[in-house]
Structure 1
Amino acid sequence: MSQLRRFAQVDVFTAEPLRGNALAVVIDGEGLDEAQMAAFARWTNLSETTFLLPPTDPAADYRLRIFTPGGELPFAGHPTLGSAHAWLASGGDPRKPGELVQQCAIGLVRLKREGTRLAFAAPPLRRSGPVEEPALRAQVARSLRLDEAELLDVVWVDNGPGWMAARLKDAAAVLALRPDFVAMQGLKLGVVGAYPAGAAEAFEVRAFVPGLGVPEDPVTGSLNAGLALWLQGAGLAPERYIAAQGAALGRAGKVHVAREGEHTWIGGDVTPLIHGQVRL
């Protein structure tokens, strides 16, 4: 039987409403089955919809399930930040002040407050290194409508969702892309290019996931987390930088990256837009 459940909608990776990536959060997710969660995610038709649940791991503050219109994800970045914000705003009390621990399908994810922002520790890559398969590299080039020679790197940056990434010569080349989403079917593809030295942002990022009903994601925390581990490890990015994402969709997302010791933190602002109840 359906009931009224607390619900929030927030804008992630922006301090300015309507300029980031929208997220729907069902705060009282306990009692919903997977089919109900998937149906609501299809109905919101946002890139992700999340459900907050009591943790089953004693080290966690809460448990999170993450759905796109096309299925469930084991981890995603903007849902992590947005759901943590909604959990805190709804009265969640972390075990350790200033820190949170989220339980999701990839395990435990640490978060911390950075002034007005939240940041999560980038999870380790499940798959890394160059994409060696010629057919996959050819599909990447074809789906981006580029010659293979224009792909400076094609690498795995998979921290759960299955991301691979292509690096182009600069940010302008990333913004100029007009992808072929039919050719891209089966890929979860991020693209990154650097801005000139001295620019406010270090990189422009775009994320394409047509197979999950999200042809282009406005601002993508999991992809930026994987990119950060790769770019910093390869000496292609500084320890602290800001990545821009979403301009191609009329957004202005800002992803704040900081490597501190053994962790790389992925942070951003969260702007609440809607709070109320939903009947599920």
Structure 2
Amino acid sequence: MTQKTDAARRRRSFSQVDVFTAEPYRGNPLAVVVDGDGLTTEQMQQFANWTNLSETTFLLPPTHPDADYLVRIFTAREEYPFAGHPTLGSAHAWLEAGGIPKQEGLLVQECGAGLVRVKHDGGQLAFAAPPLTRSGPVDEEDLAKIALGLQLPRTALQDASWLVNGPNWIGVLLESAEHVLAVRPDYSALDGLNVGVIGPYGTGTRRVGGDPGGPEFEVRTFIPGDAAAEDPVTGSFNAGAAQWLIGSGRAPASYTAAQGTVLGRAGRVSVDSVQGDIWIGGSSTTCIHGSVVL
């Protein structure tokens, strides 16, 4: 049985991409199996569990006539229909492997959430934020859990909204970026709720590194559970937060968010609202390239 299994394995192109940063090892890493054809769901999940990254993706031939490629996205424990940094990192790896989109400057990714457009202008990639499948107010019971989990008084949560576009995010608005950076979460008190917090920077020296042209918002995302963790840079949450904040007038049509600061990362997420679409973009860089036997 083992011999048959080993014989079925083959060498496949593999990349590890750092997403939402132009500086290697300062963003959010993603494992990409560039040739995932023929792998079963169980094999994909096992490999994703082994990489032990927040997400691992597998690129496959598309099944939809308008798509350039199909991507399957796995955490160490489950498959996601959509996620942000895996979308940009997978598009980067697909292009680097010689992929040529059907439309110049625009890739179409097929995934569990449907078709996702990814702009490509030779520099940064940006995906069109998918529609939220759940949005709106968060009930008081959950807000009480979140306040306890963030170790903040309930009054510090200025507003909150469900922001579900694959992952089940709840977005929480705090008074300032400084308040976001000061949060020390108690994951056990979050009771299984995936929470992202966002707060605005002021002007001048209050920006990151004192740069007046720096990011307008600071973001952090917390994922409780058996492997409780803070995500370095989160495309799906930023996509949902942008729809919420721009739609409510709390953010301008274009802005930049910083994420990962507390973790020693330098994630930068660009947000741009154009004619009804919200584009979430950032730089990607390949840190590891080679092959994997699967």
Q: Same fold (TM over 0.5)?
A: yes
Q: Does 1:93 align with 2:107?
A: no
Q: Match for 2:191: what amino acid? A: Q
Q: Does 1:168 align with 2:182?
A: no
Contact in 2 for aligned 1:20/1:252 (Cα 8 Å)? yes
Deviation of 1:143 after TM superposition, in Å, equals 0.9
- Which of 230, 241, 246 lines up with 2:255 in the alignment? 241
Matches within 5 A, 1:36-55: 36-55=43-62
- Which of 117, 127, 132 lines up with 1:125 in the alignment? 132
CA distance in 2, matches of 1:253, 1:109: 22
Q: Match for 2:102: what amino acid? A: R
- Which of 144, 151, 154 lines up with 1:145 in the alignment? 151
Q: Does 1:84 align with 2:98?
A: no
Unaligned stretches of 5+ residues in structure 2: 1-7, 208-213
1:14-72 CA deviation, whole Å, 9 max, x = no partner?
A: 00011000000000101111111111111111111000011111111101111111211
Return the structure number with greater helix share: 2
Secondary structure at the residue paired with 1:14?
A: coil
Deviation of 1:185 after TM superposition, in Å, equals 3.3
1:120-145 CA deviation, whole Å, 9 max, x = no partner?
A: 001111111111x2211111111111
1:93-113 CA deviation, whole Å, 9 max, x = no partner?
A: 111011000011110000111
- Which of 112, 118, 136 lines up with 1:111 in the alignment? 118
Q: Does 1:136 align with 2:142?
A: yes
- Which of 28, 35, 39 lines up with 1:32 in the alignment? 39
Number of the residue aligned with 1:189: 195
Which stretch of the first structure deviates more once superposed, 206-215 or 137-146? 206-215
Q: Match for 1:59: what amino acid? A: D
Secondary structure at the residue paired with 2:187?
A: coil
Contact in 2 for aligned 1:129/1:155 (Cα 8 Å)? yes
Contact in 1 for aligned 2:187/2:228 (Cα 8 Å)? no
Secondary structure at the residue paired with 2:189?
A: coil
What count of residue pairs does the alignment treat as equivalent? Answer: 279
CA distance in 2, matches of 1:10, 1:138: 37
Change (3 A) 1:234 1:212: farther
Secondary structure at the residue paired with 1:52?
A: strand
Contact in 2 for aligned 1:8/1:274 (Cα 8 Å)? yes
Matches within 5 A, 1:243-258: 243-258=257-272
CA distance in 2, matches of 1:189, 1:272: 29
Deviation of 1:188 after TM superposition, in Å, equals 1.3
Deviation of 1:212 after TM superposition, in Å, equals 7.3
CA distance in 2, matches of 1:221, 1:255: 8
Number of the residue aligned with 1:58: 65
Q: Does 1:17 align with 2:24?
A: yes
Contact in 2 for aligned 1:167/1:191 (Cα 8 Å)? yes
Unaligned stretches of 5+ residues in structure 1: none
Number of the residue aligned with 1:6: 13
Aligned-residue CA RMSD in angstroms? 1.1
